[in-house]
Amino acid sequence: MASRISRLFNIKYPIIQGGMIWCSGWELASAVSNAGGLGLIGAGSMTPELLKEHIQKTKQNTNKVFGVNIPLIYKHSDEIIKIVIDQGVKVVFTSAGNPKTWTPELKKHGIKVAHVVANSKFAIKAQDADVDAIVIEGFEAGGHNGREETTTFTLIPTVRQHIVKPLIAAGGIASGKSMLAAMILGADGVQIGSRFVASNESSAHENFKQAVVAANEGDTYLALKKLIPVRLIKNEFCKQIITAEIKGQTVEQLSEMLGRGRAKAGMFDGDLHNGELEIGQISSIINNIKPVKNIIDDIILEYNVARQQISHTKFDI
């Protein structure tokens, strides 16, 4: 079976690795592509020079297709677009910006383009911009997120009503059962973030990986809704933000509390106290750090078993 997503990107399984800042370098991206998924280098935390280096190392470490994730609001995004074209990257995932800006240029160079959204309105805009696929991200997803708080369970069937293009579901997916559930709800493939943070190959700091493994239900929170909403582990920093938000602190006050560099401090440098630790709710079922190949093999095995089990259930009408 090849889903539309597998065919589109020429990959074995319709599993896309989230292009997460500070966690998704060449090592993670090449491991995911080698294991049959689509690896993405997260350009949002790289200078253009560093990205070029990561693209080259990824090419050295896999002969499979891989992509680059580009947040369009990132200050270097124009330069990064030029690099991915020059370097012959085959797939680009864009987010946080207008998909009309770069999609025609990228497609002109034969690059497949997916765009990340959190509601039907922007999914329709992405479809109108003629992207090749649309990522729809639910409220439970880690990192930056939509303001409407629509969950994966609601988002997939709702967006599916309006969109004919291939849909990639993100948020809450870390297992074969959740991949199957997402596809039943109407997705053509899945994007998985949190599960890959806790892999041997992710560039997350070991402290952060251990924090993901330790995280349970209720341990993450969608904070900073007055700025750009972001789902974080409720560490000391996040708790300070929650307290400030309950008191009704302003955008300016919250911006000052946030300061700069907290995402790097938390996820890359391992400051669990003062850093931003971006992770999804589904960290509640992530209980180990393992190699990417094992993660993907386990997901596919569980998918096949769940599919087989459900095939025995049928209701008489």
List contacts with a copy of itself (CB under 8 A): 1, 3, 12-13, 119-121, 138-140, 147-155, 157-158, 161, 171-173, 175, 177-178, 180-186, 216-218, 221-222, 226, 246-249, 280-282, 284-285, 297, 300-301, 303-304, 306-307, 310-317
Beta carbon of residue 107, minimum distance to a copy of itself (angstroms, whole number): 28
Smaller CB separation from a copy of itself, 82 or 147:
147
Give how far Cα 226 sits from Cα of 97, 113, 161, 190, 221, Å: 18, 30, 30, 29, 14
Smaller CB separation from a copy of itself, 206 or 315:
315
Smaller CB separation from a copy of itself, 77 or 283:
283
| 289 exposure class (CB count in 10 Å sphere: 0-12, 13-18, 19+) | middle
Amino acid at 229: P
Smaller CB separation from a copy of itself, 53 or 302:
302
Beta carbon of residue 228, minimum distance to a copy of itself (angstroms, whole number): 16
Written as six digits, the tokens of 272 are 């669990």
Amino acid at 7: R
Beta carbon of residue 102, minimum distance to a copy of itself (angstroms, whole number): 26
**Under 8 Å between Cβ of 204 and 271:** no
Smaller CB separation from a copy of itself, 158 or 207:
158
Beta carbon of residue 217, minimum distance to a copy of itself (angstroms, whole number): 5
Beta carbon of residue 159, minimum distance to a copy of itself (angstroms, whole number): 8
Smaller CB separation from a copy of itself, 260 or 315:
315
Beta carbon of residue 91, minimum distance to a copy of itself (angstroms, whole number): 20
Tell me which residue has tokens 């109108």.
128
Smaller CB separation from a copy of itself, 38 or 51:
38
The set of residues, in sequence order, having a beta carbon less than 8 Å from that of 279 and lying 6+ positions away, is 142, 143, 193, 194, 197, 211, 212, 215, 220, 231, 232, 233
Beta carbon of residue 259, minimum distance to a copy of itself (angstroms, whole number): 22
